[in-house]
Structure 1
């Protein structure tokens, strides 16, 4: 039996839609094409979460964030080779849920003469069916990967004028880019839902509103990419109030680089004729208003 060698390493599973961010091992590590999760050894005294963020940047050039907890995988090879010598190797590998910004640039290797030679978003299907050659850790990590669970309570305004609704359009930073929805957003800690509606009307539409009666409470559950770039199992609870704005007031987007990129008065008839362009919240609110 060779010398006992133990290695502690940290990695991240970073998924975007149907692709996963992977690093290709350099030729000095393996002569064959082989892809792995971005990550690497934890330096002495280094926090594992700091280590994986550092390694992700070195191997992909991307600034990432990782969750608070990790899955731990252990691999023991009692007789193997490391750096030209026979060893009894034990690898302890912590794998975190990670994410990068939705508008992050294409990945590229930053570290010179490191253990990886390329970085790319690879199809998850190619990983799972073996089309793309990967180390075992990749499929092991994907098997236990679950999206981050998040529940959000938000309040919205139903503002109707002359048969048209005041609507806002989700920007590329929103969960459904290009889709129109009601003005509104998340309720801050300690903030009343009514106060949220009036604040969001000002931030998203540049309008001073007056709060009316509660119209409906709706919920929506889906898995998607959050504005941060993190994959989430998202449950939205949406409180809708009737509201009014001054006659003749024209909306405009006030918040810069936010989740709203346009605001407009949209005829209700147009919403009914084109369901794909409008959120389920808009349709639920219209239905409630007609009851």
Structure 2
């Protein structure tokens, strides 16, 4: 089975009268004639925030400002060439700050329009866009499929990874952190529990799986903290081979209602050396990854 993975960023942009901005797929895209939210693939090394701003400029001629992260999701689709594509999608709320509306020239979209809710419901939409906008999917070309058995994609020297992480706390206010094992980027630093999403896996399922594998805890998602990325073209993998490494990360807030002793349950040789419940003061005095430090700082 030929499989593909991609990460993409999109924006929901509404006018003051409630109309929403949508683009139509051109003959150059996988699903011509099907409408979607403006956006597209995240370039290697690019922050997702920059992607959505760039894609709006390319596809609509408009300059936009991000006002928030609406949601993060993932889906599988069977493409016209019979391959299976897993797409991780970050969806932002954006507002127009300038520019003039015009269609993309010689790209993957060929039309851009402000549409009323009734007009949106009458257009064929990509499934993820239909779900975001609360209308029934009307396209026949993009076939969503169910969960697949895990299949490991080929990993070239250039690696773009999509990960889901947890800022997990318990009823006493303790914070759950993990220490990165030797041989992995950031070895010895304390990090948020989490890791890469598997093929066919949503970010929510991935963060729950990673939380249990790395800490033996089960938690519930209570919010979305934000999205970040890290680009390290000189990172070394476990085999000491340089990787052109780009990781896109979504961070959730989780609550562990019934905490147990934190313990690593994943197989030996993994990226996590140990896990621990820590008070905020204890956590503040540890060497932290920039992701853990940023998440703790953002949430106080």
* TM score, norm. by length of structure 2: 0.44
Bigger radius of gyration: 1
* TM score, norm. by length of structure 1: 0.46
